[in-house]
Homo-oligomer: A and B are copies of this chain.
């Protein structure tokens, strides 16, 4: 086996493979033949024989001694080129790289299909949580209706801390960085892009077709304020960054998918409402199974190494049966693209917090404007005052997003309306 990368996950994986007592005995059949890194002189936490750690990664992926390449570098390049080259040389691939798979899954799966090699990626979604393999193996008999997930630990930690009153978004982010729960550049997490990568992968699996990442709508958590968390709480909700992939229906027939990431008001009694801190959870709803949920640590060296190593074990087990014929359930044959509905077509409830200069007159005007676009209101509450402006929180019934946005645009143009600081979707 050749491992590319010896950072957080690479080190965790090598530690796990070297400490085999009391674990699956198949481990003893695996040899860590090469580990590729960028800087040869960095001190390493794991002890490997001389000559195992090298910095010529191209040599590893073409080495005839190597059967399996484990890609733990991260990012798109050089990971993409190395993985493609490894496939050309007939190596089976294990990766934890969601960015690579969500962007270049197409290219990689096609190449793997032609070369007759496995690509396994349990660690790419949900860290240590078994979810890719259960979806492929245990749930593939189902018709999936929705996948609803908390799959970014950083943002879930920040929202949980804010919920518990630990401070504003910025305070909590700084804490999270100091604790190692958020990276120095947290933008991919905060902006929802990391969750978008992951839900794209889950959606392609659950709905059996490729997903164009650029069609996945995503919105981050930086607009979630403490005050919205408090109001949501009073209305019976918690705010979570949800990643959702949903099989829409039209006239009871499957229509395009809705695939999206955004802060969402989740009813307190919903199974995802109590998933806190850095934990992740993936809720799958299908027919005939109903609802199943997978919960666990979404990141961290040990948990992620568990997922990577389980891919290694299972790949070794399959290859022991046959190195020629692949297990058809474990390959990625995504022949079609899944069509995705634009976000304007989404049918959802909305929460909006509106600041107004003239509270008494505004409720009627809101009603009229919303009514004009077919938006009906579930509740309208005058919640308080901010800087002498009356604050109104509305929750709508189900509405087409495009219609809601148009109504809101008209409302925001009214003289009495100062601004709409927060708009969130409601589950």
Contact = CB atoms under 8 A, between A and B. Distances in A.
A313 B141 contact: yes
Contact of A290 (B27, B300, B317, B320): B300
Contacts of A129: 292
A133 interface: yes
A16 interface: yes
Contacts of A305: 288
Given A138-B122, A143-B23, A314 B329 contact: yes
A21 to B, nearest CB: 9
A178 to B, nearest CB: 21
Contacts of A122: 138
Given A302-B287, A322-B321, A329 B141 contact: no
Taken together, the copies of this chain in the complex come to 2
A256 interface: no
A300 B291 CA distance: 12
Contact of A292 (B288, B295, B321): B295
Contacts of A328: 26, 317, 320
A306 interface: yes
Contacts of A403: none
A138 B129 CA distance: 9
Nearest to A207: B22
Contacts of A317: 327-330
A137 interface: yes
Given A130-B139, A138-B133, A296-B293, A288 B303 contact: yes
A70 to B, nearest CB: 13
Contacts of A174: none
A76 B248 CA distance: 45
A141 B297 contact: no
Given A293-B296, A295-B295, 4 more contacts: A16-B141, A26-B329, A293-B295, A317-B328
